[in-house]
Amino acid sequence: MIAAARNRGIALLRHPARAVALAFGAATLLGTFLLTLPVASASGSATDPFTALFTAVSAVCVTGLVVVDTAGHWSTFGEVVILGLIQVGGFGIMTLASLLILLVSRRIGLRLQMTAQAETKSLGLGEVRRVLLGVIITSLAVEAVIAAFLTAGFAAGHDYSFGRAVYHGIYHSVSAFNNAGFALYSDSMIGFATDPLICVPMMIATIIGGLGFPVLLELARRRKRRGKRWSLHTKITIPVYFGLLLFGALAFLVFEWRNPTTLGPVGTLDKILIGFFHSVQPRTAGFNSIDMAQVQPSTLLLNDVLMFIGGGSAGTAGGIKVTTFALLGWVMLAEIRAEPTVHIMGRKLAGEVQRQALTVALLGVGAVMAGTIVLLSISPFRLDDVLFEATSAFATVGMSTGITAQLPVAGQAVLVVLMFMGRLGPITLASALALRERARRYELPEERPIVG
Amino acid sequence: MIAAARNRGIALLRHPARAVALAFGAATLLGTFLLTLPVASASGSATDPFTALFTAVSAVCVTGLVVVDTAGHWSTFGEVVILGLIQVGGFGIMTLASLLILLVSRRIGLRLQMTAQAETKSLGLGEVRRVLLGVIITSLAVEAVIAAFLTAGFAAGHDYSFGRAVYHGIYHSVSAFNNAGFALYSDSMIGFATDPLICVPMMIATIIGGLGFPVLLELARRRKRRGKRWSLHTKITIPVYFGLLLFGALAFLVFEWRNPTTLGPVGTLDKILIGFFHSVQPRTAGFNSIDMAQVQPSTLLLNDVLMFIGGGSAGTAGGIKVTTFALLGWVMLAEIRAEPTVHIMGRKLAGEVQRQALTVALLGVGAVMAGTIVLLSISPFRLDDVLFEATSAFATVGMSTGITAQLPVAGQAVLVVLMFMGRLGPITLASALALRERARRYELPEERPIVG
Ligand SMILES: [K+]
Ligand SMILES: [K+]
């Protein structure tokens, strides 16, 4: 019995795409059921199944788009169900992504760091347990520390009762670490826009979750064994993640500095706090401390680009991931420089990885474009809002200019599909691409069509 | 003397990017000068230099964006200068692109078809002359036939005097064949939307010019020597070009069928004519027979995608070209199917070509995105209009929702840059990429960062 269960578990891991989809589907169904219960709504009446489904998908996929106001519509029970779904979604994606990476890669040194086992294409249960434990312990530890800071911030600066401060502290810590973007306020974090005691811990939680488990693990191990080389994955992820953060903040500040409906009225230090808060959010937590319906069109488009790129691999962030983005840049650079191989920081990039990055990025562009065109054709909204909404769903960001609830049900269903694709697509696609056997084929004569 | 001139000519061809930029720069300067002359404007007063420059760039780059109404602002002399610039731009891009392709490729069979000369990296003057003659004869022949049909259409259906019918016939034939999109009517071809005698010849001219000289040449040679294999370039270009045409027409009809400000009021056959006319235009002639300010946002975005893809290589069309687009699709498909090499219609795709296609496409996305963000930040317009405008400029299409003239001068300068980049970028980039020597480098250890 136990052996059979073990075999089944390991067999599932041999079909990672299936396992991931199954786990997320099951969590979504359970969440939908719980959210339809009358006890889950503030009014005490049952919630319609589609609203419950949308909310469950948004929570499990740690997106944060909502068709009903989280604070207003749900009871505390409903809010806790959502938080549970976020946590399960966060655990799930981090664990599964890390396992998939273990399976497919000798590359980031993760496997060697975590186990002495020889390189095979299956994982022992011990390995699975170790990754799961690592993810859970890391998550809970970070969440606890951030929750403590937030609790202090809510209690000290906003006259919350201790119980309420603890509840809000935990809620927003978990939501931020898992890059979920669900807030207990109808206006997200606008009420705390100028409070660094709330904004800064949430930004830190978002960044730690968004860098991804492999990077966190390497940073943690690094402290113990000095002198070891950093993996290329970490060496790319960290500068690109923080580089985009800085770029995003500067561009946000430039575009919004004088906008009377956003940064215009607040002081310089507050402007900078909001600028950095809003640069962290597209990678891909999705809180907002100013109203996104009021920003410049240029800010929205810049946010589209940043959201699409997203955060680190195998973390709680969405998007095509900063490594995918950076690798494409390096490939382009190598091409322009006429270098036959792509060299990154003293390492050669494997040829298949280039094609994988291209495939992940192009399928992402295709999904967002198709979703946007469908949404445009069935709703009265303009491209600014709709592209932002579709990108936000695909990159599991959850920011919105406020059109989510006004979309027709078919449009909300498009968002559900985009959220699932965006959450599960890149990682399962990339690992499926990397896992399968490469068939040797007969060779055909080579030919070069004209490009450009 | 003659030998020196020859050597200089051939030396220029060894630096194709420089030669192309030089030729286009010179034509633009001459055109700008002529258009500033009082005799070039209908009012008889001098035109300001920036307006003249914008118009000259738009004409030489066969784009068709205008800041002043072509029919209203310019005298007949001015209109003829513009037509001359269009023709020079069309000859120029077809000749240079064909020569560049001769230089870089044994691939499309063009070289072998045109000359028995051994494969070297330089061209003889005889070869250059032959290409130039081929381009000129092909262009003039097609333009003459189409002009005859248009003249008949104008004379028969619209009560034009014979002289006026000839002038308009030639003008719109040249403008259509060169995918330029300049029309002698303030509302482009809206007045002729339901006249197949005008629309169909213009569509045919656009398609012939937009397929590209290598494809035309192969189609022409084909008739003489039967049994020869088609080149991969032609086998990709033709189905993708016409596939996009059909797809574009169907999508346009679906999105606009009931739109009361566009297709709604006209009959079914007229709807279909307008649908196909508006599917030809994004590839990349840029006339319009309905007002683009009135179409659905979904139609605009779909047009953005189609314009960005553009037409055939080494023709009068712009965009990243249908081959670049199709190759990326095949690379993706091969990756998903786990095939180590990319096979297309019984041929293997060279590895460098994949990277070239990726580079051309990504630089295109980068140029359009950067241009759009700058335009958004300095103008009051929304994303729908601005993305359409930037894509239209980059892909040298020339359709507009009408914001061109209302943009600040800095914004119009951005369009000038986009037009130049879009016209010269992909072809010179692709050939520069393909021409240079590939340096052999020392090998570094391979590593595979996580993608997705
Ligand atoms: K999120
Ligand atoms: K054009």
Q: What integer pLDDT is reported at residue B9 of this predicted model?
A: 47
Q: What integer pLDDT is reported at residue A9 of this predicted model?
A: 47
Least confident of A250-264, A422-436, B254-268: A422-436
Q: What integer pLDDT is reported at residue B347 of this predicted model?
A: 80
Whether B288 shows a pLDDT value over 80: the answer reads yes
Which of A388, A429, A451 to mutate to test binding with chain B, by most B CBs within 10 Å of its CB? A451
Of A362, A438, A448, the CB nearest to B350: A448
Is residue B98 a part of any domain in this protein? yes
Is residue A452 a part of any domain in this protein? no
Tens of pLDDT, residues B149-160 = 999 999 988 888
Tens of pLDDT, residues A408-443 = 999 999 999 999 888 887 766 666 666 555 444 455
Of A358, A382, A452, the CB nearest to B382: A382
Is residue B447 a part of any domain in this protein? no
What DSSP assignment string belongs to B230-284? PPHHHHHHHHHHHHHHHHHHHHHHHHHTT-TTTTTTS-HHHHHHHHHHHHHIIII
Strand B347-349 versus strand A446-447 pairing type: parallel
Is residue A440 a part of any domain in this protein? no
Whether B139 shows a pLDDT value over 70: the answer reads yes
Look at A108 and B353; give whichever has higher pLDDT.
Answer: B353
Cβ–Cβ < 8 Å for A327, B355 = no
Residues 6+ apart with CB under 8 A from B120: none
For residue A97 the two structure tokens come to 């992504």
Whether A128 shows a pLDDT value over 50: the answer reads yes
Q: What integer pLDDT is reported at residue B241 of this predicted model?
A: 94
Q: How confident is the model at residue B186 (pLDDT cuts 50, 70, 90)?
A: confident
Q: How confident is the model at residue A303 (pLDDT cuts 50, 70, 90)?
A: very high
For residue B7, the tally of other CB atoms under 10 A from its CB is 11
Whether A323 shows a pLDDT value over 60: the answer reads yes
pLDDT over 90 percentage in chain B: 49
Tens of pLDDT, residues A279-298 = 999 988 889 888 999 999 99
Q: Does B159 touch chain A (CB under 8 A)?
A: no
Cβ–Cβ < 8 Å for B268, B231 = no
Torsion of CA B344, B314, B353, A333, to 10 degrees: -150
From the CA of B332, how far away is ligand 2's center (Å)? 30
Q: How confident is the model at residue B121 (pLDDT cuts 50, 70, 90)?
A: very low
Tens of pLDDT, residues B411-452 = 999 999 999 888 887 766 666 666 554 444 455 566 655 665
8 Å CB contact of B452 and A320: yes
Q: What integer pLDDT is reported at residue B344 of this predicted model?
A: 84
Cβ within 8 Å of B, A 384-413: 384, 386-387
For residue A64, the tally of other CB atoms under 10 A from its CB is 31
| Averaged pLDDT, B154-175 | 91
Q: What integer pLDDT is reported at residue B220 of this predicted model?
A: 78
Is residue B448 a part of any domain in this protein? no
pLDDT over 70 percentage in chain A: 82
8 Å CB contact of A448 and B353: yes
Look at B335 and A76; give whichever has higher pLDDT.
Answer: A76
Is residue B87 a part of any domain in this protein? yes
Q: How many domains does chain A have?
A: 1
Q: What integer pLDDT is reported at residue B123 of this predicted model?
A: 54
For residue A335 the two structure tokens come to 């091409």
B306: Cα within 13 Å, side-chain hemisphere: 31
Q: Using an 8 Å CB-CB cutoff, list chain B residues near A320.
A: 452
Q: Does A239 touch chain B (CB under 8 A)?
A: no
Identity of the residue numbered A85: L
Tens of pLDDT, residues A186-229 = 888 888 988 999 999 999 999 999 998 888 888 877 655 555 67
Cβ within 8 Å of A, B 417-446: 425-427, 429-431, 433-434, 436-441, 443-446
Whether B34 shows a pLDDT value over 80: the answer reads yes
Identity of the residue numbered A31: G
Least confident of A60-64, A269-273, A394-398, B232-236: B232-236
Whether A383 shows a pLDDT value over 50: the answer reads yes
Whether A353 shows a pLDDT value over 70: the answer reads yes
| Averaged pLDDT, A32-51 | 93
Structural domain of A425: 2-434
| Averaged pLDDT, A307-319 | 89
Provide the sign of the torsion angle of the four alpha carbons A38, A39, A44, A48, taken in this order.
negative
Tens of pLDDT, residues B75-105 = 999 999 999 999 999 888 887 777 766 666 5
Whether B184 shows a pLDDT value over 60: the answer reads yes
Is residue A451 a part of any domain in this protein? no
Q: What integer pLDDT is reported at residue A442 of this predicted model?
A: 53
Whether A374 shows a pLDDT value over 50: the answer reads yes
Whether B351 shows a pLDDT value over 80: the answer reads no
Mean pLDDT of chain B: 83
For residue B436 the two structure tokens come to 């240079």
Whether A118 shows a pLDDT value over 50: the answer reads no
| Averaged pLDDT, A359-374 | 92
Strand A343-344 versus strand A347-349 pairing type: antiparallel
Cβ within 8 Å of A, B 187-216: 214
Tens of pLDDT, residues A146-190 = 999 999 999 988 888 899 999 999 999 999 999 998 999 988 888
Is residue A253 a part of any domain in this protein? yes
Q: What integer pLDDT is reported at residue A112 of this predicted model?
A: 41
